[in-house]
Amino acid sequence: MQAEKKINKNLLSAVILLIIFGLTMIASAGIAYSRAHFGDSYYFFKHQLFFGVIPGFVVMYIAQKIHYTVWKKMAFLIFILSIFCLVLVFIPRIGSRIYGASRWLQFGPFSFQPSEMLKLSIIFYLAAWLEGRAEKVKDFYEGLLPFLTVVAGVSFLLEKQPDMGTLGVIIFIAMSIFFVSGANLRHMFLIGVVGFSALGLLIKFESYRMDRFLVFLHPELDPRGIGYQINQALLAIGSGGIFGVGLGHSMQKFNYLPEPVGDSIFAIIGEELGMIGCVALILLFLFFAINGLKVAKNAPDKFSELVSVGIVSWIIFQAFINISAISGLIPLTGIPLPFISYGGTSIIFLLAGIGVMLNISKYSKME
């Protein structure tokens, strides 16, 4: 076993700064909704801190102490457990249906979103499986077909929830790991063609998805109905200008913009901190990505390399999708901004993934 070194401090610093930034924006963006619904202006901030960030850092600390090879041995069991939890969301009295979507498991006052667990578990599973395939990864029958079978099974469950945003992130994660494992480029192209064709059909045959796509093409369409959220988000970002209206001075968070502490929080960042705040956040994600990919590049073996690539892909693709959707560059998807948006389950599993990467960084090949 390779000698243990120090963790990648740049990676840890980037994550801590993202968490602090997120808590600050949740405290600001959630004031109006918290006061109106819970009688406490900082309900969301306190809930995120005590039920997300603090337990998340505990999980991260434990994960960075566990040798990364443990996750390879447990990869299949963790993946099966996450699939089992995904199925449970459809069972009445266990799964919780909110806004027409079955995405949560409810245990008394606590809720749990299995799709967040799935993001990490599929990284472990694909990394463990692909590490042992070697040149078989390039084979159609022994590489591509088994890979597509796994992705298709997960996609079916996510589409039934429905959770197209998470489905998109999962597919990006899976394709990133498959590519780095040495996949045939023609197979990657084939996956892209099939994927976009399937996405087109999913949009065409589901009215709310078609509405979102039409609003993406024509933001002025039905500004008080299906186009309300994106129009309010663009209004918030535009109002911020270069320097923003100032932290805490957003108008859109006062019951104008839906999900101000959730999916739409980037719009509040744009309004309060302006273009400078948005660029600073994007640069912080870029700093995280660079250092995360350094961990992958210097990983001690193929499994740890693929895990690192998967975790970085998860966070960066999800951030890109959220920011692009709220900025009107792609259709609205409804996924949180990593480390920034409100959500305890998301923060805990994100920090668990970071803990694994920090452990991998201890065994870096770089002297």
pLDDT tens digits along 228-270:
788 888 888 988 899 999 988 888 888 788 888 888 899 999 9
Residue 2 domain flag: no
CA-nearest of 2, 61, 77, 35 to 299 is 2
Which pair of tokens denotes residue 98? 């909110």
Residue-wise over 263-299: b if at least 16 C-beta within 10 A, else e?
bbbbbbbbbbbbeebbeebeebbebbbebbebbbebb
Residue 261 domain flag: yes
Per DSSP, what are the bridge partners of residue 112?
A: 105
The number of angstroms, rounded, from the C-alpha of 286 to the middle of its chain's C-alpha atoms is: 15
What is the domain count for the chain?
A: 1
Residue 4 domain flag: no
Q: What pLDDT is attached to residue 96?
A: 66
Residue 17 domain flag: yes
Q: List, in sequence order, the alpha helices (H) in 89-144.
A: 114-131
Q: What pLDDT is attached to residue 49?
A: 93
Which pair of tokens denotes residue 303? 């499994």
Instruction: Assess contact for 237 and 10: CB atoms under 8 A.
Output: no
Residue 338 domain flag: yes
Which range of residues forms the domain containing residue 45? 9-362
Q: Rounded distance, CA 111 to CA 130, Å? A: 33
Residue 64 domain flag: yes
For the chain, residues with pLDDT lower than 50 are 1, 367
Burial of 311 (0-12, 13-18, 19+ CB in 10 A): buried
What is the number of other CB atoms lying within 10 angstroms of the CB of residue 321? 21
Residue 206 domain flag: yes
Q: Rounded distance, CA 347 to CA 48, Å? A: 9
Residue 179 domain flag: yes
Q: What pLDDT is attached to residue 367?
A: 45
Q: Rounded distance, CA 155 to CA 88, Å? A: 16
